[in-house]
Amino acid sequence: MKKILKNKLVLITMAATIFFSTTAFKNDFFEIAKQIEIFTTLFKELNMNYVDETNPGDLMDTAIKSMLADLDPYTNFMNEQDVEAARINNTGDYTGIGAKVKTFKDKLVIVEPYKDYPADKAGLKAGDEIIKVGNTNIEDYKENSGDLLKGTPGSKVEVTYKRQGKIATATIERAEVEIKAVPHFSMVNNKTGYIVLSKFNNKAYKETNYALRDLKAQGAEHIILDLRGNPGGLLNEAIKIVNLFVPKGQLVVTTKSKVKKYNKTYYTQGEPIDTEIPLVVLIDGNSASASEIVSGSLQDLDRAVIVGSRSFGKGLVQRPKPLTYGTQVKITISRYYTPSGRCIQSLDYWNRNNKGEAVRVKQENYNEFKTKNGRKVFDGGGVFPDVVFNSSKNSTITNAILNNNLIFNFATEYYYNNNIEDINGLKLNDNDFSTFKNFLKTNNFSFETETETALYKAFETATKEELNDNIENDFNTLIKNLNRSKEDVITENKTFLLELLTEEIIKRYVYREGLYEYYKIHDQKIKKATEILNNQSTYNSHLK
């Protein structure tokens, strides 16, 4: 262990040497040197003298994560597996079974098989629980079990999985998998083209460019660009996509940092495809980062009408910095600003509340900016659409349902219990919602609100102080009423929950490709976008 510790200390010293050589930190040289020396001596004494056996690697991992936890959630240490995952996310290419998989301690769950890829060809479906890969039981595997599915193209892997309580096996031949940035584009009607941009990897511009040209060749006179659920990605791809619709030399985004070399202005570099074609951009609360650069800059330039709900509000820029042994640290280096000068960061990670939580910028603290045509826009809370659709009424409850995989699990049961011939005719009703609420109960869905936590804490304190005799009945009544209120909140979110359920169910029958076809018929935001685009005066009125 001493040898390991010695190597660790050498690495820390080397890292410190590199750290000190950067000009940005010369003024803090003594303070940084002092703190690293304190940490080095503490780390050595702890590992040499602690009463029980310690693991230097685990201790260092905890120390790093604890240090970064006080910053923002995007400044992260990335181990070798994380670096590889980031590479896949940026390129969209990897070798495997061709399915989105979620890792649990005792199983791997197929979340979404990609159409015509190996997992799909082998008959695996969403909801299948892989419990064994080759001769390896997932519950006994101590590393990242998802890696067991990876391998060279053409190699085969046998998986044992559970479906609806029954055990089965399948042999899957691995292949190169390409995850498209633009998973779908088509005509909504004879004049309106529809492009879904799901991520900003290094193929985003190329695929969006191709889709736009293809749709124009099909006769598209209007375009809907769907950025809903797009978490962002590569900044340069976002700038080039804006360039498809605005002239060369147009300011798109500015980044500002305490390190001067990171202060940059980004302009469009190429010739556009079409600067006149009417454009609607769809966003929601999961449209973040690069999605907000695209939607925010097109809004500032009065080049598109934005439809949907307020975007996520991530105005922070990260850059990966290489460390030793193939690891990296992804550091927030600057904030970005749209052409009007606004930063749309919604959470303040540097001025937290008394619970240590990042606080949302208050509306009264928003600053006003002007678009190219003089329209008012504001900073401090994501991109606010020109045409607003409200999201869920209580995201806390709906997020709890999603995080417990209850939407996903209900869709799995629905798929195996219902034979639907015309999936485009699917419309969930009140009976389906009642079935879902019963499903929540039978699956013991429980969610403790901050109100409950405070009540239980107060009652616990009263009990310790022997003051609970006269308030116990009142306490039980409050808890009972609170549970009834939580049930009411679920009902209040009926429309939003039914949308989530419908989307998950649709994918079970016709994959993600079929979901976009369903959207074109039923989605209210697409209908609204089409309505705006079909009326030139309405479209123009939103931009003046």
The CA dihedral of 233, 238, 240, 245, to the nearest 10 degrees, is 150
Q: What is the SS3 assignment for 330-366? A: EEEEEEEECCCCCCCCCEECCCCCCCCCCEECCHHHC
Q: Are 250 and 267 in contact (CB under 8 A)?
A: yes
Q: Would strands 192-196 and 222-226 be described as parallel, antiparallel, or unpaired?
A: parallel
Identity of the residue numbered 77: F
Q: Are 88 and 94 in contact (CB under 8 A)?
A: yes
Beta bridge partners of 254: 265, 337
Is residue 465 helix, strand or coil?
coil
Identity of the residue numbered 177: V
Q: Are 299 and 44 in contact (CB under 8 A)?
A: no
Q: Are 360 and 347 in contact (CB under 8 A)?
A: yes
Burial of 329 (0-12, 13-18, 19+ CB in 10 A): middle
Q: Which residues are catalytic?
A: 289, 300, 314
Q: Give the helix ranges, DSSP H, for 247-362.
A: 290-300
Q: Are 330 and 318 in contact (CB under 8 A)?
A: yes
Q: How many helices (H) and strands (E) in the chain?
A: 16, 23
DSSP state of 324: S
Burial of 286 (0-12, 13-18, 19+ CB in 10 A): middle
**Distance from C-alpha of 63 to C-alpha of 188, rounded to nearest angstrom:** 53
Which strand (E) or helix (H) includes residue 161? strand 156-163
Is residue 75 helix, strand or coil?
coil
**Distance from C-alpha of 479 to C-alpha of 28, rounded to nearest angstrom:** 53
Instruction: Tell me the Cα Rg of the chain.
Output: 26
Question: How many residues belong to the chain?
Answer: 544
Identity of the residue numbered 428: L
